[in-house]
Structure 1
Amino acid sequence: MNRPLQMSRRALLRGFGVGAAGALAYAALGACGSDGGNAPAAGGDPWKRFQGTTINFISENTAPSAAIAANTKPFEELTGIKVNIQQMELTKLVENVSLDLSSGTAGYHVIYADPYQVLAPFSDGLVDLNEFIGNDEFPQPPLGLEDFIPSQLEAAGRFLDGQKLFALPYDTPTMIWQYRADLFEKYHDRMADDLGFDPTPSINITWEQYFQIADWFNKNAKDDVPYGTGHQAKQHDSLQCDFSNVLWAYGGDYFAGGQQLGTLGTKEPGKSTLASDAGIAAAEFYAKLLGIAHPGSRTWDWDGVGSAFQSGQIAMCPNWHEFAAGNEKALPGKVGYAPLPKGPARSANIWGGTGIGINANCSEAERGAAWLFVNWATSPDTQFMCLASEVGGGTPTRTSVYQRPEVEEAKKRPSKLPNILTADAVNEAWKQENIGLRPKVATWNELDTALFTELSRMIAGEVKPDAAMRTVARKFDEINKV
């Protein structure tokens, strides 16, 4: 069995700076590691071929992983394979994956391969899944690859090469406008009279109007809600995500290749375009918006702003649509969902989907067992289980799941599948003209850090927006050696 060449430690650590804390965290993994697994059994049930093997799955703290971790029994009964699932914050995951891939062994066999922070920098350390797809010795994806949403298969699974497939789409969080529908209904007429436009959230509302709505809540609705808007503006990846929606809406982008770099990606993105007139205009508006947002915004990531919304601290926010499950528990029937506002160029809704892949350092048995798990975890039945899970709520990446009658029925309240209440907003956000795709480049981890570090200084008032964008563009060019 041909296996990719092991990635050099230097190449991996260049993709992500690994500190002492990460090294200690990785060292603790030894207790979880496999000893190489059993040899695959010949013949018989292909799902039982690797029974007795133990595999480890590393994942970000996500809805589908929470659902699967709470219900691994169906997979273990189907395969005889034991699966351990370790969930953590994304930055720590990237650090641990970097250490694992560079070790020459496989402490983690199945990897949550974020397209930007794992797949692009570390694709050489992942198995090309074509090793299994079309191979009669292994179970094939139910309904074929055609059942995956095509744009998500490309964005989550491929890098540089349109033939190689490094991951199968696993989750598909997308940032949309989440708002207190009860408060918008209560104050609708007063807001409309004062502001001079219909404030009902929709893709037709501009970001400038969003600002005016937030400011109106700040000044007129303190008895019901402290602040009109909140944001995930912590000095963290979340700040980059929050800002990207505004950047693209204003017609700016990271590189001249624009959204095309979010699919197959590139090794040479060229000079950064962040300091363009559109990029600076976006930064100026974002700084103004954060100036009236809940002051906790500068300390919040997506979980922080989600908790603030659910506890009644803010009337609206941009956040990942999968927070709907928690919204419906905390504020049943009081929340509405819409695509994000539009800027001078368009409405842009950042897509945060991710696939799961296989560590190329795996032994033969671990490799086969990992494929069985990747295949099972992304199957329509498992995705529906995650969607319906009380602890999960992940959104399917399979077209067939959305076509199930029980899913269609759940689009209206009362809904047994609360994330599907966002379906209309998310489907609009997924349209080619509205989706927001970050550039898939091997240096993204360094670029991301440079961006959110300077943005944090900007919203703290330490630097002006135009200077911040010029600094970030210069750092991008230095990182990419342009």
Structure 2
Amino acid sequence: MFYVPKNAIHKQVSRRDFLKMGGGAATALGAGSIALGLSSVINRRPVYAQSSDAAKWKQYEGSKLVFMSENTPPSFAIRDNLKTFYDLTGIEVEILTDHLPTVQQKVGIDLRGGNSDFHLNYIQDKPIGSPFADYYEDLNKYTGDNTLPQDPEGMGEDVWFENFQKACGVFYEAGRIVAFPYDCAVACSFYRKDLFEKLSKDFESEYGYRMEFTADTTWKHVYEYAAFFKKVREGGNSEIPYGYAQHQGNFAWTTQLDIQRMLFSHGRWTEFDVDDTLGSKDPGKTKWGDAQSVAVMTKFKEQADVSHPDNLANGTLELNTVYQAGQIAMQVQYHEFAASCEDPNTSKAADGKTGYAPCPKGEPSWIVGGGQAVNGTNCGIGGIGINGNATEDQKRAAYIFSIWATSKNIQYDVLRGLGGTPTRKSVLEIPEVKNARKRPTNMPNALTFDAVYDHGIRDPHFVLGPKIPEVNEYHKILATEVQRCVAGELSPEEACEAIREQTDEANGYF
């Protein structure tokens, strides 16, 4: 979701030969080629249900596909392992990557223009899937096709973690699937265990309880922890960092995700009265401006007031850098960042200093009119989908790449290498992954799996939406008004009302 590559464009195939899947090597098969679209070539040799697995994998030998992706760990690990796919299939794949907003613009132009320059798309659940879902191919037509190779575990909803398939692949109507879960970024709490232990007695003498992070740690506790760290820091102890910082900066979606976690944790509040997994093209008027939203906006502003002085400037990437640099003691961050925080060459929070816990829980006294306090947890579930404008043969060849790229072995390789975030349940059953969940570990992202896979993504803590066509405009509206409130330009009431008015207008409710 937020991986920053050294080289954003890949055109060569190279190294790592590990995947054994679908029948092994095949005899080279020749066929005529047809040039189609940007850097695209498609070849096809007919195969049948009774054909060998090797023939099914090789039926598009000599073809070339283009995959437009966000710069995430799977795309760069797969980029380095494309020779394995080429040897298996004879298909060349060019992987182009960029930051998510740029990817959204490029695929949007391609899809809406009726083109298929990018046969495969990275479908980030809300920013790309919500506005463009209708332009993608329904993958159900290929999962049961016995003339195509199939993953031995299958591609059904039950092979992925709970709700992952729905998050990135199902929009507005049940049944139709436009993407398979490719990677995920799920929020959890990162905190400096060493500093908590060092300062806990002083904190307890002032607040009357122990400073610790568990599944029962509330947003009120986080506020008090942050206020305490700030007091110590500004009281003259420059060796102690500030306590906390939020996701602000100019990436509007992650600002929306940041306040959404606090909102959902208090009574499971959501922005719209719609099915949270399917979303809606007609979401109705937003609930922004009600008493609960104002109450949480007030607390979000108070949290900002005790955060790092550069709070408003830090987007998600910058926030993690601040944590790695030892300038804050806590962050609610996406679990893919554990790998960087655990790197002793770049992080002052490494060497066992960081602990991981679920997202903070709602504070019961902050819930308006009753309701459940939960560990509000949200995510970005990135899927891999097929451009509906492509030819049928391009789609079939793209499906072959999709099932390979989301296979158990590939996800395990990414986890071991760049620090991936699995979407298949079976990856967590691999003995080496089970062992990696405890220190010492050679898969640092696995240290977050208790907080994320065992708790955060489970009901009632997980929130997926909003999945609405105008979601990107909504993110911009929300981020602008939240940041105006944090900066002191608007009161919480005024900010919530501004979000309500603009969101309703963007969705066509005047």
- The two structures have a TM-score, normalised by structure 1, of 0.89
- Rounded to whole Å, the distance in 1 between the matches of 2:273 and 2:420 is 33
**In structure 2, C-alpha distance between the alignment counterparts of 1:255 and 1:103, rounded to whole Å:** 31
Q: Does 1:58 align with 2:68?
A: yes
Can you list the C-alpha shifts for 1:192-246, whole angstroms capped at 9, x where unaligned? 2222112211121211110110111122254434311122111322211111111
1:413-468 CA distances to partner (integer Å, 9 max, x unpaired)? 11111111011111211111111222111121111111111112111211111111
1:9 corresponding residue in structure 2: none
Question: Are 1:234 and 2:249 matched, yes or no?
Answer: yes
Q: Equivalent residue for 1:13?
A: none
1:96 matched residue in structure 2: 106
Larger mean CA deviation between 424-433 and 361-370 belongs to 361-370
Identity of aligned residues (%): 35
405, 420, 427: which one aligns with 1:394: 420
CA distance in structure 2 between the aligned counterparts of 1:111 and 1:169, rounded to whole angstroms: 12
Residue 456 (structure 2) aligned to one of 423, 429, 450 = 429
SS in 1 for 2:81: coil
Instruction: Choose 1 or 2 for highest CA Rg.
Output: 2
Tell me what 1:122 maps to. 132
Letter in 1 for 2:104: V
Q: Counterpart in 1 of 2:432?
A: 406
- Work out the CA distance in 2 between the residues paired with 1:40 and 1:420: 42
Paired position in structure 2 for 1:158: 170
What does residue 249 of structure 1 align with?
Answer: 265
- CA 1:35–1:209: 2 relative to 1, 3 Å: closer
SS at match of 1:352: strand
1:358 is aligned to 386
CA shift, 1:364, in A, is 3.0
Q: Does 1:340 align with 2:386?
A: no
Query: What secondary structure, in the 3-state scheme, does the structure 1 residue paired with 2:65 have?
Result: strand
Asked if 1:271 is matched to 2:288, the reply is no
**Over 4 Å off, 4+ runs:** none
- Unpaired stretches in structure 1, ≥5 consecutive residues: 1-30
Cα pair 1:253 1:279 within 8 Å, conserved: no
Deviation at residue 40 of structure 1 after TM alignment: 4.5
d(CA) in 1 for partners of 2:97, 2:40: 22
Tell me, yes or no, if the aligned pair for 1:36 and 1:365 is still in contact at 8 Å: no
CA contact (8 A) 2:62 2:90 kept: yes
Report the residue type matching 2:249 in the other structure: K
Match of 2:148 in 1: 138
| Aligned: 1:81 with 2:91 | yes
The alignment covers a number of residue pairs equal to 448
Task: Return closer, same or farther for 1:470/1:40 CA change in 2, 3 Å cut-off.
Answer: farther
Deviation at 1:36, TM superposition (A): 4.6
Structure 2 residue matching 1:254: 3-state secondary structure: coil
Measured against aligned partners, the alpha-carbon deviations of 1:308-334 in whole angstroms (never above 9, x if no partner) come to 111111111111011001011021211
Contact 1:230 1:293 in 2 (8 A): yes
Ranked by relative contact order (alpha carbons within 8 Å, sequence separation 6 or more), the top structure is: 1
Aligned to 1:323: 337
Q: What is the aligned counterpart of 1:176 among 188, 206, 209? A: 188
| Structure 1 residue 32, shift from structure 2 partner | 9.2
Q: Which has the higher helix share?
A: 1
1:204 aligns with 2:223: no
Which string of whole-angstrom CA distances, capped at 9 and with x for unpartnered residues, describes residues 243-276 of structure 1?
A: 111111233320123xx32x11112111100111
Offset, 1:41: 4.3
Residue in 2 that maps onto 1:456: 483
> Residue 190 in 1 paired to residue 196 in 2?
no
- Whether the 8 Å CA contact 1:67–1:393 is kept in 2: the answer is no
1:14 match: none
What SS is found at the alignment partner of 2:190? strand
Q: What is the root-mean-square deviation of aligned Cα atoms in Å?
A: 1.8
**Aligned to 2:57, what secondary structure does the other structure show?**
helix
Q: Helix, strand or coil: the match of 1:234?
A: coil
